[in-house]
């Protein structure tokens, strides 16, 4: 952990700017796009998607196994498939069938979500444990929880899959999921992490952590709600999407930083980025320029706080005397998220963003003799710095999209269709 003093007026964080933003050099696009294509190949061909259709969380290179199939990340993959199918330009060389392949994989994933892990209409169990004894480890306690965050991620994928393929199963399940989410979002936009059940217990009794408390990360469910509102014409979903984003704004400081732990006033870059992503997408969807502007402030704060090694602050805390403590053990999903935010706000040509590109490229697994890992992106390290070199599904999905956007690739005039933000 490093500590630095940061002088500001009255010890309050001031707004940050990055000055003139250059355009990325075209030569820098080549390695980024090549890495993205390798990541797509790993997601499609490595076996990370189980035979039943769900996506494993990661491949544990130490144990040589897959811990569990994960509902949330399966939802990310369904959305990513819709984005890949719409682009049709990220297929590995000589493979013209990417659209059909990714949509077929997404269809298997949707079938898994709607059968294996859906105990009640609209809700999804967190994970399906591996048959390998002990592989699920410390995550076993999450298995039966019906996370609202996970449902929001899955909802976005279901709507995207319906739009891409016309799947009635995806639409029907999306409508069920939207209704289930509305029951857990209050009038002010606060989202309950999960409903109490005998198996999962009450979220109020869980150890304190950003993922087990209502917080800014729940704004991310707004993307799926906005997409469902658009497809269904039901404005209840759109209003809820805006409400969860407006709730997140209450925990954004003038500097752009989101407070992800109200008890300590600290910030974890992962949920900070979730909130910024949601504000960009929902703001774009609804014409709310204030939400997009708040997302930009969040992106600029993260970029300005990125160090020379291309690591944003994994955890950031500020004491009353202005002293700042920062943990920078690499969490690669956060690196990819900050890079993607930079691209969404046209700051992907900055030095900070290019350092993030380099960091991502360095974290792609290079293991030709280990096909279950080769081409995936590693998680990085635990909070205590313990290396976690496992080839990780959601890290790879985030990295693929971030690298493509950072390479300056565009379709038409839009940076990205907000419906496809993974």
Reported confidence tier of residue 3, pLDDT bands at 50, 70, 90: very low
CA 182 to chain centre: 21
**pLDDT (mean) for 380-408:** 94
Which of 69-73, 91-95, 213-217 comes out lowest in average pLDDT?
A: 91-95
**pLDDT (mean) for 306-310:** 95
Q: How many residues does the chain have?
A: 422
**pLDDT (mean) for 143-169:** 97
CA 158 to chain centre: 16
Instruction: Give percent of the chain with pLDDT exceeding 90.
Output: 78
Match 């496809």 to its residue by tokens. 420
Encoding tokens for residue 114?
């709607």
Q: What is the pLDDT of residues 165-207, one digit of tens each?
A: 999 999 999 999 999 999 999 999 999 999 999 889 999 998 8
What does the alpha-carbon distance between residue 414 and residue 422 come to, in Å, rounded to a whole number? 16
Q: What is the pTM of this model?
A: 0.92
Name the domain count of the chain: 1
Q: Give the CATH number of the domain where residue 179 resides.
A: 1.50.10.10
With beta carbons less than 8 A apart as the criterion, state whether 147 and 126 touch: yes
What does the alpha-carbon distance between residue 239 and residue 420 come to, in Å, rounded to a whole number? 20
CA 293 to chain centre: 20
With beta carbons less than 8 A apart as the criterion, state whether 389 and 378 touch: yes
With beta carbons less than 8 A apart as the criterion, state whether 103 and 81 touch: yes
Domain limits for position 247: 2-420
How many angstroms separate the first and last alpha carbons of the chain? 30
With beta carbons less than 8 A apart as the criterion, state whether 32 and 355 touch: no
| Contacts (Cβ under 8 Å, ≥6 apart) of 103 | 81, 82, 85, 161, 164, 165
By DSSP bridging, strand 2-5 and strand 68-70 are unpaired
Encoding tokens for residue 327?
């943990």
Q: What is the pLDDT of residues 111-140, one digit of tens each?
A: 999 999 999 999 999 998 876 645 666 777
Q: What is the pLDDT of residue 19?
A: 45
Q: By three-state DSSP, how is residue 3 classified?
A: strand
**In DSSP terms, which residues pair with 266 in a beta bridge?**
261
- What's the angle, vertex CA 179, arms to CA 177 and CA 182, rounded to 5? 110
Residue 7 pLDDT greater than 50, yes or no: no
Q: Report the mean per-residue pLDDT for the chain.
A: 90
Q: By three-state DSSP, how is residue 53 classified?
A: coil
């Amino acid at each position: 952990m490093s500590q630095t003093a940061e002088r500001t007026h009255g010890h309050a964080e001031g707004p940050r700017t990055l000055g003139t933003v250059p355009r990325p050099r075209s030569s820098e696009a080549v390695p980024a796009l090549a890495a993205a294509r390798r990541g797509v190949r790993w997601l499609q061909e490595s076996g990370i998607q189980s035979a039943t259709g769900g996506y494993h969380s990661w491949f544990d290179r130490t144990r040589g196994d897959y811990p569990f199939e994960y509902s949330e990340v399966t939802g990310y993959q369904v959305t990513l498939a819709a984005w890949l199918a719409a682009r049709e330009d990220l297929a590995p060389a000589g493979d013209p069938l990417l659209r059909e392949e990714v949509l077929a994989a997404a269809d298997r994933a949707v079938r898994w979500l709607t059968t294996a892990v859906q105990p009640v209409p609209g809700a999804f169990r967190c994970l399906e444990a591996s048959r390998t004894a002990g592989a699920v480890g410390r995550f076993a306690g999450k298995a039966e929880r019906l996370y609202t965050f996970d449902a929001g991620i899955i909802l976005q994928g279901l709507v995207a899959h319906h739009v891409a393929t016309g799947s009635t199963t995806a639409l029907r399940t999306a409508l069920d999921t939207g209704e289930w989410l509305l029951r857990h979002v209050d009038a002010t936009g606060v989202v309950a992490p999960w409903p109490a059940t005998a198996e999962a217990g009450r979220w109020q009794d869980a150890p304190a952590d950003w993922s087990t408390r209502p917080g800014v990360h729940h704004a991310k469910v707004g993307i799926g709600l906005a997409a469902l509102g658009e497809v269904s014409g039901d404005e209840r979903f759109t209003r809820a999407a805006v409400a969860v984003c407006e709730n997140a704004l209450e925990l954004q400081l003038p500097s752009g930083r989101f407070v992800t732990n109200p008890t300590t006033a600290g910030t974890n870059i992962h949920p900070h980025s979730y909130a910024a992503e949601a504000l960009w997408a929902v703001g774009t969807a609804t014409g709310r320029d204030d939400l997009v502007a708040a997302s930009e402030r969040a992106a600029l704060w993260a970029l300005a706080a990125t160090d020379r090694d291309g690591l944003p602050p994994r955890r950031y805390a500020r004491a009353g005397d202005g002293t700042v403590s920062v943990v920078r053990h690499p969490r690669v999903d956060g690196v990819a998220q900050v890079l993607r935010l930079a691209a969404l706000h046209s700051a992907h040509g900055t030095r900070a963003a290019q350092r993030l590109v380099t960091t991502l490229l360095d974290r792609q697994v290079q293991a030709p003799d280990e096909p279950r890992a080769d081409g995936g992106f590693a998680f990085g390290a635990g909070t205590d710095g313990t290396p976690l070199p496992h080839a990780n599904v959601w890290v790879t999905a985030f990295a693929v999209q971030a690298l493509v956007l950072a390479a300056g690739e565009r379709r038409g005039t839009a940076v990205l269709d907000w419906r496809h933000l993974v």
